[in-house]
Amino acid sequence: MWQGGDTPGEDLAVITFEHVAKSYPDGTRAVEDFSAEVPVGSTTVLVGSSGCGKTTLLRMVNRMVQPSSGRVLLDGRDVASQDPVTLRRGIGYVMQSGGLLPHRRVLDNIATVPLLEGVSKKDAHGRALELMDLVGLDRSMARRYPHQLSGGQQQRVGVARALAADPAVLLMDEPFAAVDPLVRRDLQQWLLGLQGELGKTVLFITHDIAEALLLGDQILILAPGAQVAQRGTGEEILAQPANDFVRDFVGLAAGERVLHPSGSGDRTVLLDAQGRAVGVLGEPGQHR
């Protein structure tokens, strides 16, 4: 009842890009001709170097960027036909450093969208406290300002805020890029668990191939101009890289991702490119 508007969760599910392109008046072509589908309840990762147009694509979904041609559909409906403000309130958005409002306390930050939708402060705050539990933040932090939290905590608040209106779709714009590597790994694992629980339709952007392989059910490797170098599961991409660009991007060309079996004893030990032992070979089909 706290999710406002006439956009109940189930309505917005699949994101479809239909031949979208974006060029700017100065002649820059950020996106050439991009088509893709983000299936319901799964995580699709757009991965590419900075300037490849991935953020432009993400921002087309909630109309922060208007495509020069082509369409973006949310569950079959062209987003261009929808009121941008209503559309945005129905889509969760997480950005780097959380993008929190520095002048609002944690609780008010999380409750931003419900409060905008006119939900009473009491209900919105009650829901925000539940979300703090969900994202693993102690309720004692509710009255703090964002600058009084660590980077990782801010990021959790950012996710909680994105979930506050219970959107079916989450857009995540390099959310973990600004936190240190250890915290990033924690947050990635945590997000995997959370996604397993919630099953949102997630469009995730990163320049980090390791993050893409970890989080993506579907991965799109983008070359400049948002040209799709390869799309598939992490397994498919590592098993059959489509071209040298992909091989290079995922680190196969430099041998970073190649492990060599070393058959001493009962188990097969796997060595990395430098010959360091990184693990042992398990039985087929025993992975999670």
Partner 1 sequence: MSWTLDNLDVIGQLLGRHLLLSLPPIVLSLLLAIPLAWVATRVRVLRAMLVGGSALLYAIPSLPLFVILPLVLGTGIRSQWNIIVALTLYGVALMLPATVDALAQVNPRVLDAAQAMGYPSLSRFLAVELPLAGPTMLAGLRVVAVSTVSLVTVGAVLGVPSLGSLFTDGFQRGITEEIVVGLVLTMLLALVLDLLIAHLGRLLLPWSRPLRRGAVGQGAP
Give which of 196, 198, 241 is closest to 215, Cα–Cα: 196
Q: What is the distance between the alpha carbons of residues 64 and 88, in angstroms, rounded to a whole number?
A: 9
C-beta of 71 vs 104, nearer to partner 1:
104
The contact set with partner 1 (CB under 8 A) reads: 62, 64, 85-89, 93, 95-97, 99-105, 112-113, 116, 136-138, 141, 144-145, 147-150, 152-153, 156, 161, 171, 179, 182-183, 186-187
Q: What is the distance between the alpha carbons of residues 22 and 224, in angstroms, rounded to a whole number?
A: 13
C-beta of 53 vs 232, nearer to partner 1:
53
How far the first Cα of the chain sits from its last, in Å, is 36
C-beta of 54 vs 88, nearer to partner 1:
88
Least separation in angstroms between CB 8 and partner 1: 16
C-beta of 25 vs 102, nearer to partner 1:
102
Least separation in angstroms between CB 178 and partner 1: 11
Output the six-digit token pair for 13.
């599910």
Q: Is 187 exposed, middle or buried (CB count within 10 Å of its CB: 0-12, 13-18, 19+)?
A: buried
| Opening angle at CA 274, ends 270 and 277, nearest 5 | 30
Output the six-digit token pair for 258.
């190649």
CA dist 58 to 23, 178, 277, Å? 15, 19, 39
C-beta of 7 vs 218, nearer to partner 1:
7
Output the six-digit token pair for 41.
């309840």
Cβ neighbours, 10 Å, residue 80: 14
Least separation in angstroms between CB 268 and partner 1: 35
Least separation in angstroms between CB 200 and partner 1: 16
- Helix (H) / strand (E) element for 236: namely helix 234-239
C-beta of 132 vs 250, nearer to partner 1:
132
Single-letter code of the amino acid located at 23? S
Least separation in angstroms between CB 91 and partner 1: 8
Least separation in angstroms between CB 198 and partner 1: 18
Least separation in angstroms between CB 148 and partner 1: 5
C-beta of 42 vs 97, nearer to partner 1:
97
- Residue keyed to tokens 């498919």: 236
Q: What is the distance between the alpha carbons of residues 110 and 8, in angstroms, rounded to a whole number?
A: 19
